[in-house]
Structures are given as structure tokens and as C-alpha cells.
Amino acid sequence: MIIEPRFDEHNIRKIETLLLAHPIARNYFQGELYYKRGQRFDGFTLERHDGTILELTEQQSAHLFMIPDGSAAWALRVNEHGNAPPGMNIRFINAFLKDGEQNSVIAFRSEQTPGAWSDALHIGSMMLSPETPRRFCTVAFALMAITAYRLGFSHIQLYGAGHGPLQPEDADALIGYWVWPKLGFDAPAHAAEMTRHPDAAMHGLRTVQEVLARCPEWWETYGSARPMQFHLRANSPSWSILLNYIWKTLAAC
């Protein structure tokens, strides 16, 4: 993917400065990772398709895979399973996990670029405990997106789980369908699901982001789980949504 200097200078660098100054980044994303046996970790290694190696620093590893300080992290190659593609699965455990969970992000080669190295990311599991600090996921994902863009990744994908009505008071409710689109993820909105709960304002809408722009209350109540993507190319709609969300939620803090 082409890195555009003007986009980096006028958009990415400004938001990166804001993020790195935020208490979440200062307290939890400095790049202090460990192996499962307790030894200090020095960063992941990703193999390119042409056989060359991408050596990530400890902080790059933490940012690219949303791994907070103090985590135990490891990598293993995995085959395709469910919504997850084959690739290098980065797994980690830390104090912010729900009991019995492991968080994971897979670096993989997308079908759109068959001759390239692992050029995309799949967030496989990101299950946080109710005690996780507010805005933790917002800061963590924004740092992931910035790092992925700088390293030439094409997109980030995931499965936005859960369904409406939104129940934020339920600590066990899955709310990915609602949270991830706020950070710039998008997916097709199917006519069949909209006809089940018709609304005249929904006519002609084709994507989740179009639904949210016109009828956010409909999506909050009737939205449901599906695969979603964040496109990392410069000036993409995904970036526009994320950058606006960061300025609104973090700049005022």
C-alpha cells in the first residue's frame, strides 16, 4: 500500500501526538511485553512473501497488535477457522482480560493481493473485563491503525459480534456490532434485514455506515453481527470516521 506523506503529516501525525499523550497510552502502551515464562519480550518477526523479514520493535508489536504493557504474548501459525483467515496468530493475556479468555490478532495475506506478504490484520478476539479503563479500546485501536498504515498493511478486519437492542449495562453482552463501526469499520447492510423492521428513512441504504449516518437509533436497536473492515488507504472513509471520533472523544478530555 502507498504511504502518502501529506496524509501522514496533516492527519496521522496530529492524531498520533494526541494519542501518545493520553493517559491510556502513557500507562499501558509503552511496549513492555513478556514471554509466557516471564522473560522480557523484544518484538515479533513477520515474514514477507518474498522471504524477507520484518522485525518489529517491542513498541511496534504492542501497538500493531493492541497488546498492553505487562502482557504475556506469543505467536503461532494457524489455518483458516470460522471467520479467521490462515496466518500468524499473535495471542496475549493480561490483567484486562475476561476470565478464561485469550485475545488474538492474526497477520495474514489478503486475497486481493496474492503476491504480497501478510498485508492485513484480523482481530480475532478482544474480550475486555468490565474493569478496563474507559477509552482503552479507542486508544489501542487507533494506535493499531496508525502502525498498520505506516507498515503498509491494506486493511483490518473482524467479526462485529452481538445484536440490538444495545444493553451497555450488561457486562456480558456482546456489543461489537455497535462499537466497531464508531471506530471506522463498515460492512454491507442487507435489504432483507431492513425489511424485517421497515423505516422509510432506510430506503436505499447499503452499508452500516450509511445506516448509522441516517438512522443510528435503528442500528442500535436492530443491528446485528457481521464481518466488518477498516480500510487503511490514505483518506479512506474509515480514516475519516476514526479521526473525527478521536478528536471528539479524546481531544476534549
- HEC per residue, 143-158: HHHHHHHHCCCCEEEE
- For residues 167 and 218, membership in a common domain is answered with yes
- For residues 200 and 242, membership in a common domain is answered with no
Q: So what's the pLDDT on residue 173?
A: 82
| CB-CB contact of 28 with 136 (8 Å) | yes
- For residues 70 and 131, membership in a common domain is answered with yes
- For residues 137 and 190, membership in a common domain is answered with no
- For residues 22 and 105, membership in a common domain is answered with yes
Q: What percent helix, strand, coil does the chain show, rounded to 5?
A: 35, 25, 40
Q: How confident is the model at residue 13 (pLDDT cuts 50, 70, 90)?
A: very high
pTM for the full predicted model? 0.92
The domain of 168 spans: 162-224
Q: So what's the pLDDT on residue 251?
A: 78
Q: How confident is the model at residue 203 (pLDDT cuts 50, 70, 90)?
A: confident
Distance CA 118, CA 207 (A): 27
- For residues 170 and 132, membership in a common domain is answered with no
Q: How confident is the model at residue 116 (pLDDT cuts 50, 70, 90)?
A: very low
Tell me what the mean pLDDT of segment 93-115 comes to. Answer: 78
Q: How confident is the model at residue 115 (pLDDT cuts 50, 70, 90)?
A: very low
Q: How confident is the model at residue 15 (pLDDT cuts 50, 70, 90)?
A: very high
The pairing of beta strand 103-108 with beta strand 53-55: unpaired
User: Nearest-CA neighbor of 148 among 207, 209, 106?
Assistant: 106
Report the mean per-residue pLDDT for the chain: 89
Distance CA 116, CA 230 (A): 19
- For residues 217 and 241, membership in a common domain is answered with no
Q: So what's the pLDDT on residue 55?
A: 92
> What stretch of H or E contains 159?
strand 155-163
**Structurally, how many domains does the chain consist of?**
2
- For residues 122 and 242, membership in a common domain is answered with yes
In this structure, the chain runs to a length of 253
Q: So what's the pLDDT on residue 207?
A: 97
Which residues is 37 bridged to in the sheet?
none
Q: Which are the contacts of 65, defined by CB distance < 8 A and separation ≥ 6? A: 44, 73, 90, 92, 105, 121, 144
Q: So what's the pLDDT on residue 51?
A: 64
Tell me what the mean pLDDT of segment 132-150 comes to. Answer: 95
Q: How confident is the model at residue 49 (pLDDT cuts 50, 70, 90)?
A: low
- For residues 16 and 126, membership in a common domain is answered with yes
Tell me what the mean pLDDT of segment 28-38 comes to. Answer: 92
| Whether the predicted pLDDT of 138 surpasses 90 | yes
Q: Give the CA distances from residue 40 to residues 25, 34, 220, in Å, rounded to whole numbers and listed in that order.
A: 20, 4, 43
Q: Which of 158-172, 183-197, 225-239 has the lowest mean pLDDT?
A: 158-172
Tell me what the mean pLDDT of segment 68-72 comes to. Answer: 95
- For residues 121 and 171, membership in a common domain is answered with no
Q: Which are the contacts of 81, defined by CB distance < 8 A and separation ≥ 6? A: none
- For residues 95 and 170, membership in a common domain is answered with no
Q: So what's the pLDDT on residue 99?
A: 77
- For residues 30 and 54, membership in a common domain is answered with yes
Distance CA 155, CA 136 (A): 21
